[in-house]
Amino acid sequence: MGSNLVHLISAVLALSVACTCPAQNFVAGADMSHLKFFESKGKTYKDGGVTQDALAILKKQGLTCVRLRLFTSSAAQAAANPYNYINNLDYAVPLAQRVKNAGLQFYLDFHYSDTWADPGHQAIPSAWTNLTFSQLVQQMYSYNSNSIASFKTAGAMPDYVSIGNEITSGLLWPSGEVGGSFENSTQWSQLGQLMKAAIQGIQDASAGGTMPKIIVHIDRGGDWSITQWFFDNLNAQGVPFDMIGESYYPFWHGPLSSLSNCLNNAANRYHKPVIVAETAFPWTNSFWTTTINGITPSLTGQIQYVVALAPIVKGVAGGMGAGVFWWGTEYQGVNGVNEAGFNTTSFFDAGGNLLRSANEYGQLTAPLNLNISVADMGLVLSWPLSGAGFSLTTTTNLTPPVVWSPLPSTIQNTGTVYWTTLPPDSGPQRFYRLQSNW
166 given a catalytic annotation: yes
Phi-psi label, residue 192: left if phi above 0, alpha if psi -120 to 50, beta otherwise: alpha
Q: CA-CA distances (angstroms) from residue 122 to 148, 160, 176, 240? A: 21, 21, 9, 22
Count CB atoms within 10 A of the CB of residue 21: 17
Q: How far apart are CA 309 and CA 326, in angstroms?
A: 12
Out of 166, 177, 339, 360, pick the active-site residue.
Answer: 166
3 state SS of 233: helix
Q: How far apart are CA 170 and CA 176, in angstroms?
A: 5
Out of 177, 246, 278, 330, pick the active-site residue.
Answer: 278
The answer to whether 194 touches 172, Cβ cutoff 8 Å, is yes
Query: Shortest CA distance to 257 belongs to which of 312, 303, 296?
Result: 312
Q: How far apart are CA 395 and CA 402, in angstroms?
A: 7
Q: How far apart are CA 299 and CA 381, in angstroms?
A: 27
What's the maximum distance between 2 C-alpha atoms anywhere in the chain? 86
Q: How far apart are CA 38 and CA 315, in angstroms?
A: 35
Phi-psi label, residue 191: left if phi above 0, alpha if psi -120 to 50, beta otherwise: alpha
278 given a catalytic annotation: yes
Which amino acid appears at position 121 of this protein?
Answer: H
70 contact partners, CB below 8 Å, separation of at least 6 = 87, 88, 89, 92, 108, 109, 110, 111, 147
The answer to whether 23 touches 366, Cβ cutoff 8 Å, is yes
101 contact partners, CB below 8 Å, separation of at least 6 = none
* CB-count exposure of residue 425 (10 Å: 0-12, 13-18, 19+): middle
DSSP E strands in 361-416: the ranges are 371-375, 378-384, 390-395, 405-406, 412-414
Query: Shortest CA distance to 331 belongs to which of 344, 315, 318, 317?
Result: 344
Enzyme catalytic residues: 166, 278
